[in-house]
Amino acid sequence: MAGWQEFWRRYRRKSSAVAGLLLLACILLLATVGPWLVPGDPWEIAVRPFLWPGEDLAHPLGSDLLGRDILRGIVHGARVSLLIGLSATAAALGIGITVGACAGYFRGWVDDSLMRVTELFQTIPNFLLAVVLVALFRASIMTIVLAISAVSWPAIARLVRGQFLSLREREFVQSCVVVGMGETRIIVTQILPNCLAPIVVMASIMVASAILTESGLSFLGLGDPDLMTWGTMIGIGRQALRTAWYMATLPGIAILVTVLALNLVSEGLNDALNPHLKNR
**3-class DSSP state for residue 76?**
helix
**Averages of pLDDT over each 10 residues, the chain, 280 residues:** 74 89 93 88 90 90 92 92 93 95 92 93 90 87 93 94 89 85 88 89 92 90 87 89 90 94 90 63
Q: How many domains does the chain have?
A: 1
Residues 232 and 251: their CA atoms lie apart, in Å, by 9
Instruction: State the CATH number of the domain containing residue 49.
Output: 1.10.3720.10
Cα distances from 75 to residues 41, 183, 227, 268, in angstroms, run 11, 47, 12, 27
With the C-alpha atoms ordered 256, 261, 263, 264, is the resulting torsion angle positive or negative? positive
pLDDT digits (tens, 9 = 90+) for 176-220: 888 888 888 888 888 898 888 889 989 999 999 999 999 999 888
Given a contact cutoff of 8 angstroms between Cβ atoms, the answer to whether 31 and 82 are in contact is yes
Burial group, residue 138, by CB count within 10 angstroms (0-12, 13-18, 19+): exposed
With the C-alpha atoms ordered 185, 189, 191, 196, is the resulting torsion angle positive or negative? positive
Given a contact cutoff of 8 angstroms between Cβ atoms, the answer to whether 75 and 131 are in contact is no
Q: Indicate the angle between helix axes 15-37 and 246-273, nearest 10 degrees.
A: 130
Burial group, residue 147, by CB count within 10 angstroms (0-12, 13-18, 19+): buried
pLDDT at 276: 54
pLDDT at 69: 94
pTM of the model: 0.89
Given a contact cutoff of 8 angstroms between Cβ atoms, the answer to whether 161 and 202 are in contact is no
Residues 197 and 114: their CA atoms lie apart, in Å, by 23
Given a contact cutoff of 8 angstroms between Cβ atoms, the answer to whether 249 and 70 are in contact is no
78: left (phi over 0), alpha (psi -120 to 50) or beta: alpha
Residues 270 and 264: their CA atoms lie apart, in Å, by 10
pLDDT at 11: 85
Which structural domain range is residue 125 located in? 2-277
pLDDT at 152: 94
Please give the torsion angle defined by the CA atoms of residues 10, 13, 16 and 22, in that order, rounded to the nearest 10 degrees.
Answer: 70
